[in-house]
Chains A and B, each alone.
Chain A
Amino acid sequence: MPGLESNFAAAVRQHQAMVFSIALHFLHDHAFAEELSQEVFLHLHKNLKAIQSPSHLVYWLRKVTTHRCIDQARRQRLRPRVSLTEYLERAPEPAMTGPTADPILAGFLQKLIASLPKRSRIIVILRYQEDLEPSEIAETLDLPLGTVKSSLHRSLALLRGKLERERKGVPR
């Protein structure tokens, strides 16, 4: 992609939120997320010649980030498990929620998502953070479309069930 080498800083600035957020929502740890995001951009810096277009850059960054997230989780087995009661006892992380969001609900959902199995977690993140269609998720993760669809269906049912149970158990 012409000009990417000279505009590397601009590319990092433009895509930092996407890469960092995928890592943060997946790993649920700011330090790990920043480290992983830096490594993704360093990897990009070494492979600038492989990038063909702006859309290819986005695709490439998503693909590398998601694969690195899964590798990292495999190494560290980061799967926090938390109940709403437990979550309510802690302060929500303000950086992860927007000003209009219900911070408790958003924080709880983030932790529920972080407790999903690796593959299901990344599928949910790509669907709801990146707004990708199941076919695009399948292409990014090198998975069959059916697997993505069924995993997404199962994960959403699980998340919805957990949320309902917690809502019934703890008055909000």
Chain B
Amino acid sequence: MNEFDKDLRQALRRTDPPVGFVDRVLARTHPQPVHIPLKWIGIAIAACLLLAAGRFEYRQYEGRKAKRELLFALELAGSKLNIAQQKIFELNRRTIHD
């Protein structure tokens, strides 16, 4: 074996893993069942319900808003049509009199 081979063997000597490695492996072979406290389940359900109610209310609000805007637009269009109609009548009347 030459010097370089010896250096390589020395550099690649086996090393033990950090202390407690075996325990950490064994702990992972028996995964503990996750216990979620009942309180947190209650909080999670309440949060879900609140979120659902909020979403429902928001959709209702959006619907009402859209309805209001549509009515306003129709009203506006109606008044514009009335003005245009009056102008046409006026023009027709003038044409007949002239």
Residues of A within 8 A of B (CB): 8-9, 12-13, 16-18, 20-21, 24-25, 30, 33-34, 37-38, 41-42, 45, 95-98, 100-102, 105-107, 109-110, 113, 124-125, 128-129, 131, 156, 159-160, 163
A160 to B24, CA, bound (A): 39
Cβ A129 vs Cβ B26 within 8 A: no
List residues of B whose CB falls within 8 A of some A CB.
4-5, 7-18, 21-22, 24-26, 28-29
Q: In the complex, how many angstroms separate the beta carbon of B8 from the nearest chain A beta carbon?
A: 4
A9→B22 contact, CB < 8 A: yes
Contact call B8/A101, Cβ cutoff below 8 A:
no
CB distance from A18 to the nearest CB of B (A): 6
Q: Is the CB of A16 within 8 A of B11?
A: no
The reply to whether B15 and A21 contact each other, CB–CB distance below 8 Å, is yes
CB contact between A20 and one of B9, B11, B21 (< 8 Å): that residue = B21
> A42 and B17 in contact (CB under 8 A), knowing A9-B22, A105-B11, A128-B12?
no
B29 touching A42, Cβ below 8 Å:
yes
**Nearest 3 Cβ contacts at the A-B interface:** A109-B11, A20-B17, A129-B12
Across the interface, do A42 and B28 meet the contact criterion of CB distance under 8 Å? yes
Residue in B10, B15, B26, B29 whose beta carbon sits within 8 Å of that of A17 in the complex = B15
**Choice from A33, A113, A128 contacting B5 with Cβ under 8 Å:** A128
The listed residue (A37, A124, A156) touching B17 by CB distance below 8 A is A37
Would A110 and B17 count as touching, CB distance under 8 A? no
In the complex the two chains form, what is the Cα distance from A106 to B14 in whole Å? 13
Shortest beta-carbon distance from B3 to chain A in Å: 10
In the assembled complex, the CB of B22 is this many whole angstroms from the nearest CB of chain A, namely 5
Within 8 Å by CB of A38, from B4, B5, B8, B24, lies: B24
In the complex, what residues of A have CB within 8 A of residue B24's CB?
38
Cβ–Cβ contact B10 & A34, under 8 A: no
A129-B13 contact in complex given A12-B26, A42-B28, A160-B4, C-beta closer than 8 Å: yes
Nearest neighbor of A101 in chain B, beta-carbon distance = B10
